[in-house]
Structure 1
Amino acid sequence: MDSVHAHQLASDLLDALQDPSRNHAVTVTQVQLDALERLVNHGVGTIRPRFEIGKNGAVADITIDLGQKGYLNLSAHVRESRNGFPPLALRIGSVRVPSKVTRWLLNRSVTALDLPPTPEARLDRFITRFVVSRPGQAVVNIQPDPELFEGLKAMAPHFSTSVDPALVRFYYNSLLDRDLRSGVGAKSFATFVNTTFRIVVQRSERRDPAAETRAALVALSMITLGPDAKNLARMVAPFDAPCVPEPSLFTLAGRTDLPKHFSLSAALSILFADRFSRAAGEWKELSDSAASGGTGFSFVDLMADRAGLRLGMAANGDLSLLREVQYGLAYVGDERLLPVAALRRLREGLSYKAFEEQYVSINDERYRQMIAQIDEELDRIPLYKATPKPDIG
């Protein structure tokens, strides 16, 4: 159930941050933080977080593996505040930064944005309250500030997304126009992919091939998911996201769920680290197997996840290989996107109990062998021979 708790926390925070019209009270529990901690530990191997809600505040300790350079330890201690931005003390390695110094640095950052009113008022208006309501539970009141977010993003472009919002909008509008003109009813996802990437191939002759590919894959995900893509759209353009209508019914290998798995995994691997995107797919399947209304654990869905993940990774990789991927997608069909015959041999609909009985966990060698078999089937398709292969486990 970890993925359920982590998803609930992420959803609550995203919903609050994306609605600047009012003040939001977001409840954070230790159970949710523990779930998030395990998800990050599994998905991002170089980062080890620990979160704890205490009597008078909360602590976050993060260890970052720097490889041959060793480790970097970071710590943040947030104390309760019933009126305004909470006191925040930091520790970077052995260097301690008291809460007053942290607040001064934050104020200086906001001052550099030249936003009215004073920086103190701006921060206190953003987080208006942080209290521990009971053991293992805290409540934070947030008033989203679009101007502050956009200003900080402009000051730190190295933290911004690798996707060009204007390019995403171009491809999204092109796809939407083609979708509306093609009428109602089920539509071939492969046909939409190849018509899109014929445009990508042409534009890449005189523009950045990687930027064109990334934008096209993200736009494909948005048009495939419909309203479910609203959070994805806001990650690309937080306060200028395109309107996302009801999705058309796209099919891949005779199924309507596989285009969503395929395109979302590609988009997430572009926007985030490939390890985190892989983990998100696995945790989603485990959530489905545990939830009463879930569809069960599906290796079929995971094959679509890994196929999309590999294409997303290729968009951030070697340019010569990327051009091969572009041409492959420009002339793709169902059999060239996924090995349809192999899909029919994979198990799905496994309950959480059935999954545990056969595979124990996603760290077990039997599970890892299944993922290796899925990758071998994908390798038989020419398109994926030019793509990086994500880690297993």
Structure 2
Amino acid sequence: MTQSDTGLLETDAPSGPPRAPWRWRWLLIGPLVLVALFAALVLSFSPSVPEPRAPDTPSAAAARRALQQITGSDVARGEPVQITLSQRELAGLATLGSEALSPLRMQARLGAVLPQTRPTSKTRAASSPANPTGELIIDLSHQIAGGAWINATAIVRPAAARKSQEQEPGNLPDIALTLGRLPIPQSVTHWALARVWLRIQGDVARPTPLAKALRSFTATPERAQLVLINPGRGAALAGLAQAGGTTPEPRALAAVYCAIAGTADADLAMLVRRTAAIGAPAGVSPEDHNRVVLTAIAMRAVPEYREKLAGTARRLVADCGASADPVTLAGREDLAKHWALSAALAATLGSQVARSMGTWKELADSTDGGTGFSFVDLSADRSGERFAIAAVKPQLARPVLTRLAAITEGQLLPRELLAKPEGLDQAAFERDYTAVTSPEYARALTAIDRLLGNAGVP
């Protein structure tokens, strides 16, 4: 064999494994590039919403006014209801939401829409000084793993006059939504909102689509107003529970509630014992059964929240013979309501929501016309919340149910706690405790929790 032959053979010999075609490489690299690009557009190293300020009495009062419009309307199901929110009420709701849904941060504000085109006679009339056009701006920030933040901003404006009924069904507002630096098409935003609207109507057999339910949305720099079809008093609470994946099974809830609905002359301890003694149906876990038990107790003890708590079981419990006799704890109807409602909220929506709602209610009560801030009420709230959180833990569900089946009044609320301060107006509360973030307030809560723990509250 000649040298030239040898060289030819060496040249022709493969030098390694064959290279993968570029198209296969891009199939592997392409998704990674897209994920990296998406992350670069959506994620940030800092929040757009500053750290929420501590809740105070004015914020709590404003949030209460807003919530009363949203969830406390006496308008019948299927009839239009008008909700008008001022800047103060929007800010109060955002502060409450930031605390209840922490670590999510929220802020909401109203602004004026600046004209971008030469005004016509129609737009001049719509945005005249007597009737200025406004917009609602909602900012959200949520921290994720690694210290990164997801920031979102939604700018909501009344539907543009150019849209016809055929082009844009209903009266859905214009919404410019961005995730970080990534704009979201309005059609996607409207689709997502429509899905959420259907989701929150947890107690409606045939939910009304958002495009038909929302009659109008208007905004000025001072207030936002919307008119929508009332989906029912229980829709918001049932929808929140469904969104959290903790809604009680409706048939099980109806069975337990109907078994106790007619209980007369009930003190809370007796009602809890009777309800806890009801056996769980086959296939229901102990923690889910406890969630049913606590929700049914609240439905009996807090009749004004019965429909809200029933959710999708509302129709199943409609014919249960409910007693009109109040349920009491330590001889007081209000304490039974505090314990039962806090337990139901904690069992279905979580401890953070239940605790925030209890604290904000007391702050709102300290304003003019309220009953005053009550550490006795707060003690009942914390007892119900602590029992509920333990009751829905798989490892504690059975022992807690056994304890509830033999509970006494003093184990629900120790008598020493009945001597705690109550009836404090805003000035008295701020004089003695400054704020709900102060060391003085923290010491007051620690003392309550110590007495609850000594009584055997989980």
TM-score (norm 2): 0.70
Counterpart AA for 1:26: I
Query: Which of 299, 302, 326 is residue 225 of structure 1 equivalent to?
Result: 302
Q: Give runs of aligned pairs for residues 60-71 of structure 1, distance below 5 A.
A: 60-68=138-146, 70-71=148-149
Counterpart AA for 2:404: L
Asked whether the equivalents of residues 65 and 71 of structure 1 are also in contact (C-alpha less than 8 Å), the reply is: yes
Q: How many residue pairs end up in the alignment?
A: 356
CA deviations 1:35-77 (Å, max 9, x no partner) are 1122223333301101012223211111112254532212212
Q: Which residue of 2 aligns with 1:328?
A: 403
Q: What CA distance in whole angstroms lies between the structure 1 residues aligned with 2:382 and 2:66? A: 25
Kindly tell me: are residues 11 and 158 of structure 1, through their superposed partners in 2, closer, same or farther at Cα, counting changes over 3 Å? closer
Query: Which of 157, 162, 181 is residue 94 of structure 1 equivalent to?
Result: 181
Q: Which runs of 5+ in 1 are unaligned?
A: 111-120, 388-393
The alpha carbon displacement at 1:370 in A equals: 0.7
CA deviations 1:189-248 (Å, max 9, x no partner) are 21111121111xx427863111111011011011001134333334x5577774795642
Kindly tell me: are residues 281 and 135 of structure 1, through their superposed partners in 2, closer, same or farther at Cα, counting changes over 3 Å? same
Q: Which residue of 2 aligns with 1:114?
A: none
Q: What CA distance in whole angstroms lies between the structure 2 residues aligned with 1:376 and 1:26? A: 42
Q: Which residue of 2 aligns with 1:175?
A: 260
The alpha carbon displacement at 1:261 in A equals: 0.7
- Any idea what SS the aligned residue of 2:136 has? strand
Asked whether the equivalents of residues 375 and 420 of structure 2 are also in contact (C-alpha less than 8 Å), the reply is: yes
- Any idea what SS the aligned residue of 2:302 has? helix
Q: What CA distance in whole angstroms lies between the structure 1 residues aligned with 2:390 and 2:363? A: 27
Asked whether the equivalents of residues 223 and 247 of structure 1 are also in contact (C-alpha less than 8 Å), the reply is: no
Q: Are 1:192 and 2:271 counterparts?
A: yes
Query: Which of 8, 16, 22 is residue 79 of structure 2 equivalent to?
Result: 22
Q: Give runs of aligned pairs for residues 244-393 of structure 1, distance below 5 A.
A: 245=322, 247-292=324-369, 294-317=370-393, 319-340=394-415, 342-382=416-456, 384=457, 387=458
Query: Which of 84, 107, 112 is residue 171 of structure 2 equivalent to?
Result: 84
Q: What CA distance in whole angstroms lies between the structure 1 residues aligned with 2:91 and 2:443? A: 28
Asked whether the equivalents of residues 290 and 392 of structure 2 are also in contact (C-alpha less than 8 Å), the reply is: no
Kindly tell me: are residues 299 and 157 of structure 1, through their superposed partners in 2, closer, same or farther at Cα, counting changes over 3 Å? closer
The alpha carbon displacement at 1:376 in A equals: 0.8
- Structure with greater proportional helix content: 1
Kindly tell me: are residues 80 and 238 of structure 1, through their superposed partners in 2, closer, same or farther at Cα, counting changes over 3 Å? farther
Query: Which of 130, 135, 138 is residue 221 of structure 2 equivalent to?
Result: 135
The alpha carbon displacement at 1:250 in A equals: 2.1
Q: Are 1:208 and 2:282 counterparts?
A: no
CA deviations 1:85-141 (Å, max 9, x no partner) are 11222112332113245346668999xxxxxxxxxx954322222111x42212112
Kindly tell me: are residues 339 and 103 of structure 1, through their superposed partners in 2, closer, same or farther at Cα, counting changes over 3 Å? closer
Q: What CA distance in whole angstroms lies between the structure 2 residues aligned with 1:228 and 1:58? A: 30
The alpha carbon displacement at 1:145 in A equals: 6.2
Asked whether the equivalents of residues 16 and 142 of structure 1 are also in contact (C-alpha less than 8 Å), the reply is: no
Please list every run of at least 4 consecutive aligned residues from structure 1 whose deviation after the TM superposition is greater than 6 angstroms.
104-110, 238-241
The alpha carbon displacement at 1:371 in A equals: 0.4
TM-score (norm 1): 0.81
Taking only aligned residues, the RMSD between alpha carbons, in angstroms, comes to 3.1
Q: Percentage identity across aligned positions?
A: 28
Q: What CA distance in whole angstroms lies between the structure 1 residues aligned with 2:194 and 2:382? A: 44
Counterpart AA for 1:286: L
Q: Which runs of 5+ in 2 are unaligned?
A: 1-57, 113-133, 162-169, 198-207
Q: What CA distance in whole angstroms lies between the structure 1 residues aligned with 2:405 and 2:355? A: 25
Q: What CA distance in whole angstroms lies between the structure 1 residues aligned with 2:103 and 2:92? A: 18
- Any idea what SS the aligned residue of 1:62 has? strand
Asked whether the equivalents of residues 248 and 288 of structure 2 are also in contact (C-alpha less than 8 Å), the reply is: yes
Bigger radius of gyration among the two: 2
Q: Which residue of 2 aligns with 1:390?
A: none
Kindly tell me: are residues 230 and 24 of structure 1, through their superposed partners in 2, closer, same or farther at Cα, counting changes over 3 Å? same
Counterpart AA for 1:193: V
Asked whether the equivalents of residues 300 and 347 of structure 1 are also in contact (C-alpha less than 8 Å), the reply is: yes
Q: What CA distance in whole angstroms lies between the structure 2 residues aligned with 1:18 and 1:367? A: 39
Kindly tell me: are residues 89 and 44 of structure 1, through their superposed partners in 2, closer, same or farther at Cα, counting changes over 3 Å? same
